[in-house]
Every structure is written in C-alpha cells, then in structure tokens.
Structure 1
Amino acid sequence: EYLRPYRCYKSDPEFSKCVLNGFENSRDYVNKGIPELSLPALDPFELPLMTVNRTVNELVSINAVCRNIRVIGGSSAIIDDLKADPIKHTGEIRVTVPWLNLVMDYDVLGQLLVIPLKSSGHFEGNFTNTQMHVKGSLKKYKRDGEEYFKVNKVDSKITVGDGRIQLTAEDPDRQLEADLITFFFNENPRRVMDAVNPIFIDSTNDLIRAVSDQILSTLPASEWLPA
C-alpha cells in the first residue's frame, strides 16, 4: 500500500519519467527490501548460494560454487537514463555504481587465461565505476484466472572500471595458489575483467530474471500497470 503513490499508469504520456521518479522516490524502501513483494534488500544485497558453470573459450572457463554472498554499495547507484514502454512492456536502464564491495566463500575450478583455477576459500573485492545497461521485456501469463507478468527477455552490458581482490584459502597449505590468482588479477584487472565479462553478464542476466520473476509473481499485472 505504501508504494501505491509511486505507481505509474499505462495512460501516462510521460510514463518513463514517472517510472524514473518512482525509482528515485522509493529508494529507501528498495535499499531495505520489501518482504511483501519478495524484494530483497539492495544494500547490502545478500545471496546464500550461486553456481556458475560457463566456458568462454579454451583460455577462460569457470566452474564455481559461491556461498554467503554479500554486496555493499548498491544504494549509491546513479540512474543515468531510463526508458519504459507500457504498451510493448519493454524497458531499458543505464546505471553507474561508483563503488561496490563483494565478499563471499568460494570453491572454483577452471582456467583464467594463463592461470589454472583450483581454489577454495574466502573472496573479497572492491570495484569502482561499474557501468550497467540493462534492456528487458515482460510477457503475461495466467494464474488462478488472473494475468501476471514475467520476464520475457533480459540483456545486460556491464563494464567495471577497476577492481582489486584478495583471496584467502580455506586450507593454509593452498594459500600460494590463492595468492597467485590474487596477484594475477590485481596486476591485470582490466585484462582479467574483460576476459570474464561474458560469464559475469550471463550470471547477472540469470540473477535479474530470477529476482524479477519472484517480485512480479506477488501481484497481478493490473496492479503493477494499471490502465
């Protein structure tokens, strides 16, 4: 109910502007999370478990299980541009996040350019000037006689300006391997981030779809987009 003032009507001639204002004016709620809408807190954003199994080419492949993921800094996001079409159910948004801190426990196998990946432990990274451009569309489906929205397509482009990481091996005897990965990344952050970018984008698209569908399922389409 407390979000109703921020709803946008399909008939609004300045629909995109309304959606942008709605985002900006409801930031406090979004940052803390809205349990009634299954919306997790944005800052910190926490995820108990995430798996990644992607191969880009013979030089870049990652098979990882990530646990206890915690991201701080999302509340500083700046919305650079937003467009939404209430008739076609499409939209796109450009966002800049000045700083993010990411911590998690990890178990990874794979290949990162010249570095073989075989490590388990704790990861911490600081990343600056992350640029995100997300395009998406929704489609309707019926449930219990009512129409609901779900994600039809989502496509992200993400560039991280800079980053620095630290890996701490679960087994102290394997710390040398963790240090090698840490050193390689910190000496070549641009090269490494560009190499793993396709994997990062795929994982981000999957996460956006899962979280969005979870949120959209809480209310009928007519509540999200009244006439």
Structure 2
Amino acid sequence: MNVAVLVFPGSNCDVDMYKAVLDTIEQPVEYVWHLESDLSKYDAILVPGGFSYGDYLRPGAVASLSPVMEEVKLASEAGKLILGVCNGFQILTEANLLPGALRRNQRLKFHCETVDLKVENNLTPFTLDYQEGETIRIPIAHGDGNYYCDPETLNQLEKNNQIVFRYKGTNPNGSISEIAGVINERGNVLGLMPHPERAVHKWLGTDDGKRMFSSIIRFWREQNGTV
C-alpha cells in the first residue's frame, strides 16, 4: 500500500504521521508537497495537523484551495482512503469532503491533553481493529476543535452512523453531541481532532492510535485480496 502524507506551509505533524506509518504498518510512505498535481500512485492519503498557512481566514480555509486538494477530491471519488487529523480535519471540512465545520473551542483556549474517546462505529476502514463502544485514550492539541453542524446534518450523521468517535467524560472544546470524528457517507474519508499518530507507542502514554493504522492496512489488504 502506497501512502501519502500531505505537507502544507505550516504543517507540523507531518513527521509524526510519516513515522507512525513506518512504525505501525511498515508500508511505503512519502511526503507530498501541497503543489503536487498527481496522487494517482497512492492508496491512502493522510492530511496531518498543524497550522496550514498560519490559520489565516479560518483554519484549513487557505489549504483547502491548494492544488493538491483537487487531487484529494478525485481520490475521494475513486474510493481511496483519506484520513485528516486536527488541521487535516479542518481542511477536509473546508474542502467540503466532510460535513460540518470546526469553530473556536468553547472557552476560547488551546487544549493540549490526552482525552477519552468512545468508539461509536467500528465498521469503517479506519476502525476495524477497535471494538464498538470501547473507550480509548488519544491526545488532542487544538484551539479550533469545536465541531458544529446544523440539526438536519446532525440527524443525517446519526442516521447514517457517520459519527465515528465521541469525547467521553469531558468535552474539551464544546463540540456538538460530543463529536470528535466523523466520516463521509461513502465511508472512505475520516476526519478527527485527536491525534492517533501521537499514540502509537506505550512510551507515548498510550498506543490506542496504533489500531487506526492497522485497520487501514487490514481494510486495504482485504479489498485487494492480499490477506
């Protein structure tokens, strides 16, 4: 499986994402600059966290207009796996690849801590190795992680089982319905605010993020008959 880690001016979790791929699934992975115009060789595209373009206008707004995002949209239409984390989640919503929007945290403070998440949907390509309803611990680091959507969209997310992760116990940013991560209706584009790439070794405090990467390679192998 060929994996791309996108890099925008201001990305700061691209190295974490790159090393997480190597450390967990040991698949070919490359950095891809935001001006790239061809992603056809990649099976999975990872959009990392950071502060793309300094978060000017809105976090992810400028990055969503970068040339590479047109290729990401084509990859989405082709059914390829796309994972956006933190700023990557913001970019995917700004590019209309995921519903909703990320607003300023409710208390207008940057939150950097490890939080509990509830796995709401373990039937996605990104969550196959989790158990439905289990609690996992993943770090967050964001100032604009307050997920919001209108009531109609929320009803659709609930109906289609598109809410993949919810904050459990404490809602650090005020997200509607405690939402921490959502997937598109087709099921191949996931966005979440917590950082699974920072949770792949016990010595990091938790390795609960490791199973997101193992789920991706498991799904890809099953789809391609290489199990």
> Which bracket does the TM-score occupy, shorter chain normalised?
under 0.3
TM-score (norm 1): 0.27
Normalized per residue, which structure has more strand?
Answer: 1
Pair member with larger Rg? 1
